[in-house]
Structure formats: structure tokens, C-alpha cells
Amino acid sequence: MFVCADNFEDAVNAVNSHNYKTAFKMIVPLAEKGRAAAQLVLGMMYFKGTGVEKNIVEADKWLLISEKLGQEAGKKNRIYVERKMNNDQKIKAHQLAESWLKKR
């Protein structure tokens, strides 16, 4: 399946239609390409376990990346998610986010 940045709206529509596995497959490449809005959605999918197994560290990583790339809602959601994390989880998520951002 070929996915380009223009498919973000389709991915959001898939989320809204509760077609989470399809949405996840569409969101990941967009997030990896640096689309902050897709990173925000991906972070929340990991947090809620929609279309993917729950993973609070991956959730925080993607929310932090989206925040660093200018997504204000990424910060708000990250603060909420981090209230549910222990210190080791936060450290790991921040390390993963920093590593991802350095590779850009």
C-alpha cells in the first residue's frame, strides 16, 4: 500500500470510522516522514491501544516528537500521558524521541 502525506485526512477518517488497524497502517508512514499531526494521532493510538497494542512509552515518544515539531496538542496530551508513567518510562520515551529527532 502506497501512502503519501496527502493521505492524512484518509487516515483520520479511518480512525473516526473505528477502522483502527487501517488507520494505524496509514498513520505510521506519515508520522515517520515528520508530519506532526500524524505523530499526535499515532501517540494517542499507542496510548489508547486503538489499532495497535497499548504502549505508553511509544505514546509519549510520538507525542513529544509532535510537540517538538510544533503540534501544540502534542504537548497537552504528552503532559496527560506522562502523569500515568513512572520515571523510567519517561526517561526511555524521551531518549527514543531525541534519537528519532537527531536522525531527521
pLDDT tens-digit profile, the chain (104 residues): 444 446 888 998 999 999 999 999 999 999 999 999 999 999 999 999 999 999 999 999 999 999 999 999 999 999 999 999 999 999 999 999 999 999 98
pLDDT of residue 6: 61
What pLDDT sits at residue 3?
Answer: 46
**pLDDT on residue 5:** 44
Q: What is the pLDDT of residue 81?
A: 97
- pLDDT for position 7: 85
DSSP string, the chain: ----GGGHHHHHHHHHTT-HHHHHHHHHHHHHTT-HHHHHHHHHHHHHTSSS---HHHHHHHHHHHHHTT-HHHHHHHHHHHTTS-HHHHHHHHHHHHHHHHH-
Can you give the pLDDT at residue 104?
83
For residue 34, the model assigns a pLDDT of 94
